[in-house]
Amino acid sequence: MKILIVTDAWLPQTNGVVRTLQAMVRELEKAGHEVQLIGPDPKSWSSFLLPTYSEVTLEFFSRSRLRQLLDAFAPDAIHLATEGPLGWTMRQLCLKRGLRFSTAYHTRFPEYFGARVPFFLRPIVEGIAYSVLRHFHAPSMAVMAPTKSMHDTLVAHGFAHLAHWSRGVDTNLFTSERNGNAFFHDWPRPILLSVGRVSIEKNLRAFLDLKTEGTKVVVGSGPDQKKLAAHYPDVRFMGRLEKEKLVQAYAGADLFVFSSKTDTFGLVLLEACAAGLRVAAYPVAGPKDVLRGAEAQAFTVLDEDLQKAVDTALTLPDTRILPRAFAEKHSWAVSAAQFYHNLWGARPKPKAKEGTEGVDVLP
């Protein structure tokens, strides 16, 4: 099967969307499928760096390039991963040609935009954003949502044709072996770790304001990094870490703290589990979907009071065995199988065999 994926989020970005798509390409190709991924062309005259996010490149006026790539590849299935300029342009091409396609809801843009305006304007801004996103996804044959909570949220906002697509973790890369202890040198223990983009929508101040012993560590970059680092001199801001150093940071920590209330899933939660870490977070969409069940309760504390969640989580046994076992049940292979299954609804309808008019016949 020839699968075309169009995304506005791609390397050198290092966010959840990019890591998810990298995993999908790897797993789908491993299964024998031919995958072509189209991302922004940084060399194009119409590509620009996103203000305040220097690592993000957006490409505009890409219709000619996308049309040529679409014609040359002739895909069996088309997936629009993001609602950016490339996603909108390919959407228009598909609608003009009568091509079916699938989409995914990766990012809670309405809440992200709402976090940047005065409180009394948030309902208006979020309402407009949801309206635009609903219009983008309306023609999709399968709108892939990562969790039940996100599914229910989209239903409440009028989205249709929803399908489930979970996420996974590379348990070969992220390990529970305690080979990262030296990474934090002789910093006071416990090491409380936060991994993710350093920006307002991640609610990072809830983590930075925690009153705990030990050392708080922030891994990740973003527009608020310099400001927060200056305001919280006792917190270790390590910036973005490449794979091996990121693995060591997880392995050397004692507790993973997830302060975000706006993530659709939170890949870092599974990465922390694969490293054998206990987890403290809010009981919101993402953590309550990913870390559910009695098995997760043995190493996870979710509480509306993040301070209470952290204090309680630090009292849990630090065996690293239970979170690791939990992570091993969430492979990228399973995620890719869900993704592939959802693509069938977005494939061109085959010609009906005699006597089966009106019925989709799939091989």
Confidence (pLDDT) at 359: 30
Share of the chain above pLDDT 70, in %: 93
* pLDDT category of residue 178 using cuts at 50, 70 and 90: low
Confidence (pLDDT) at 50: 74
pLDDT at position 350 over 90: no
Domain 2-168+333-346 CATH superfamily: Glycogen Phosphorylase B; (3.40.50.2000)
pLDDT in tens, 13-52: 878 899 999 999 999 999 999 999 999 998 898 898 876 6
pTM score, two decimals?
0.88
Average pLDDT for the chain: 91
Q: DSSP letter string over 48-109?
A: EEETTEEEEEEE-S-HHHHHHHHHHH--SEEEE--SSHHHHHHHHHHHHHT---EEE----H
Maximum Cα–Cα distance for the chain, whole Å? 74
* Cα–Cα nearest to 108, from 257, 343, 266: 266
Mean pLDDT of 173-196: 85
pLDDT at position 346 over 50: yes
pLDDT at position 351 over 70: no
Confidence (pLDDT) at 117: 86
Confidence (pLDDT) at 242: 86
pLDDT at position 349 over 70: no
Confidence (pLDDT) at 186: 87
Domain with CATH 3.40.50.2000 in the chain: 2-168+333-346, 181-327
Element (H, E) at 20: helix 16-30
Mean pLDDT of 56-82: 96
- Cα gap 312→302, rounded to integer Å: 9
pLDDT in tens, 273-304: 999 999 999 999 999 999 998 999 999 999 99
Confidence (pLDDT) at 344: 77
End-to-end CA distance of the chain: 11
pLDDT at position 355 over 50: no
More confident residue, 134 or 55: 134
Q: Specify the fold of 181-327.
A: Rossmann fold (3.40.50)
Integer angstrom CA distances of residue 359 from 57, 97, 162, 163, 354: 43, 22, 21, 20, 11
Confidence (pLDDT) at 180: 60
Residue reference for tokens 């922030």: 218
* pLDDT category of residue 234 using cuts at 50, 70 and 90: very high
pLDDT at position 9 over 80: yes
pLDDT in tens, 307-344: 999 999 999 999 899 999 999 999 999 999 999 999 97
* Cα–Cα nearest to 144, from 167, 124, 121: 167
pLDDT in tens, 75-103: 999 999 999 999 999 999 999 999 999 99
- DSSP three-state, residue 143: strand
* pLDDT category of residue 361 using cuts at 50, 70 and 90: very low
